[in-house]
Amino acid sequence: MNPKVNIVVVVDVIGALSDGTLLNGNLCMIDDGEQSTGQGTPELCTVVRPGQVVTWSALAVDLQTPVEIKGITFLGADAEDGDADAEATDAGAGAGAGADGRNGQSGQNGRGGRNGHGPERHNPELEVWSGVVPQLAPGVAHQYRLEVQMYEGEHSTLHIASPALMCQ
Amino acid sequence: MPQQLAVIVLVDVGNALESRTLDGNTYLFDNMKLQGSENQGTGELVTAISGSYWSDGSQASEQVLNWLPYSLGSIPPTVPRGYEAERARQTDEQALTELDHLAATSGTSGTDAAAELSRIRQSAGRRVKTTRRTRGRLSGQKVLDVTGKVVSDGGTQAHSYPAPVITDIYGQAVDEKVIYPAEYGSPDLVTDGWYWSATVDTSRPGTYAYTMRIQLHQLVEQGGESLWEPVNLTCESKIRVTTEPKRNAFTKAGLGLLPVPPRAFS
């Protein structure tokens, strides 16, 4: 078993911001897991095992466009945010709030330490989206809500809730 | 951040040539406003470069700077590369047609052949002499204005300038080995096939100045011929490098279990 699984989120930032959605081919997900399904789509289901380290990272199709992962929130069994509405969101809405402890934070505020960079701002570039897979009910797709941020402002954040992790 | 960093150097070529300085005639922009760049659209740009490091102190992300010089008062670099050559050919053909017409009508009364020839010469424009030092996109072509019309007297009429060319990047940031600039070949013809780029050592935060040597071209008359004379000027700018530690987004500290809500095992 590979001790690590990498999940890459590839975003066409211009397409996503123009369409106002991460669907329509504006986002695809790929991993290096062994039995995953939905490769190259927003419905990626990554097959994992307890103890594996999963790492998410975001890449822009156009290298001169900014994109970062803003949040990954695992949804509960009811998965009320399971619809891939992919609208501009206010962080903090949706199921599993608090799971990552940073809901409700806008792109403007954040923690200190900007070395004199004027108004302080949350810098998603510093975040490493990585974690150890806990014991999970096997055969169940644990969907998660994936928020991506493209530059800043009211319409800069979009999300999908279609990808999942699944233990066999 | 995988985003490539770009600095646009927009030069008011006409005024810079007239005043022989880039001070007050250069407008700098970058795509790092979100990261804290200051004085966008002025000559005093301070480009913010945000680095990051792992818990062991090693550099976590690589930042790459690109410089793109643009010209105010020129035919946009995005028009097809053969545009100037095409316009020169079209005006030559038009002049030949008009000469044909003149030859056919010169015998008839009421035709001032000399005046007509002078008019044709005006509308045909003039080619710029190419020398070893002035090879470039506009060399050997006719002088055009920004609307693509030929200009017969570049000394007095408004005309388009060749795009500015960065010929060197040097100064404090380079001397202190914070940036490593070099010129690279590019398949992008908008930059005439070349561009300046640099990797940044983000491990040493601070503000560092650098200087760009920029070559402009002035249309001069020499021995009855027009040619583009290179004029070298310099322009200073600054980068501000910061660096911060990476951290786990789920735990805000080190690696931990993924926060997956529990489900019943079947």
The total number of structural domains in chain B stands at 2
B99 in any annotated domain = yes
Task: Tell me if A136 and B48 make a contact (CB, 8 A cut-off).
Answer: no
B144 in any annotated domain = no
Q: Are residues B183 and B234 in the same domain?
A: yes
- Which residues 221-250 on chain B approach chain A with CB closer than 8 angstroms? 242-250
Task: Tell me if B244 and A123 make a contact (CB, 8 A cut-off).
Answer: yes
Phi, psi of B232 (to 5 degrees): -100, 125
Q: How confident is the model at residue B157 (pLDDT cuts 50, 70, 90)?
A: confident
Q: Are residues B178 and B49 in the same domain?
A: yes
Task: Tell me if B258 and A133 make a contact (CB, 8 A cut-off).
Answer: yes
B156 in any annotated domain = no
Render pLDDT for B211-244 as a digit per residue (tens, 0 to 9). Answer: 999 999 988 888 878 888 899 999 999 999 999 9
Check if the beta carbon of residue A7 is closer than 8 Å to that of residue A14.
Answer: no
Phi, psi of A132 (to 5 degrees): -90, 135
B12 in any annotated domain = yes
DSSP state of B257: B
Q: Are residues B225 and B183 in the same domain?
A: yes
Phi, psi of B4 (to 5 degrees): -80, 140
Q: Are residues B180 and B240 in the same domain?
A: yes
B150 in any annotated domain = no
- Can you list the domains of chain A with their CATH numbers? 4-167 (2.60.40)
pLDDT at position A85 over 60: no
pLDDT at position B58 over 50: yes
Q: Are residues B63 and B176 in the same domain?
A: yes
B171 in any annotated domain = yes
Check if the beta carbon of residue B142 is closer than 8 Å to that of residue B150.
Answer: yes
Q: Are residues B165 and B68 in the same domain?
A: yes
pLDDT recorded at residue A105: 38
pLDDT recorded at residue A50: 95
Render pLDDT for B9-23 as a digit per residue (tens, 0 to 9). Answer: 999 999 999 999 999
Q: Which two tokens stand for residue B185?
A: 């070949």
Check if the beta carbon of residue B31 is closer than 8 Å to that of residue B23.
Answer: no
Check if the beta carbon of residue B214 is closer than 8 Å to that of residue B164.
Answer: yes
Q: Are residues B130 and B177 in the same domain?
A: no
Q: Are residues B90 and B63 in the same domain?
A: no
Phi, psi of B94 (to 5 degrees): -65, -40
Q: Are residues B112 and B231 in the same domain?
A: no
DSSP state of B163: P
pLDDT recorded at residue B78: 77
Residue B37, number of CB atoms within 10 A of its CB: 22
How far apart CA B61 and CA A66 sit, in angstroms, is: 14
Which of A164 and B228 is assigned the larger pLDDT? A164
pLDDT recorded at residue A10: 97
Q: Are residues B125 and B234 in the same domain?
A: no
Q: Are residues B70 and B92 in the same domain?
A: no
- Tokens 């249309």: give the residue: B219
Q: Are residues B241 and B165 in the same domain?
A: yes
The ipTM value here is 0.78
B201 in any annotated domain = yes
Check if the beta carbon of residue A147 is closer than 8 Å to that of residue A70.
Answer: yes
DSSP state of B39: S
What whole-number percentage of chain B has pLDDT above 90? 46
Q: Range with the lowest mean pLDDT among A23-32, A104-113, B165-174?
A: A104-113
Kindly state whether B215 is in contact with chain A, defined as any CB-CB distance less than 8 angstroms.
no
What CATH number has the domain bearing residue B176? 2.60.40
Kindly state whether B206 is in contact with chain A, defined as any CB-CB distance less than 8 angstroms.
no
What whole-number percentage of chain B has pLDDT above 70? 94
pLDDT at position A15 over 90: yes
Query: Quick one: which H or E segment has residue B90?
Result: helix B83-105
B54: containing domain = 5-74+161-245
Distance from the Cα of B46 to chain A's closest Cα (Å) equals 11
Q: Which of A111, A123, A145, A166 to mutate to test the interface with B (most CBs of B within 10 A)?
A: A123
B45 in any annotated domain = yes
- pTM value > 0.80: no
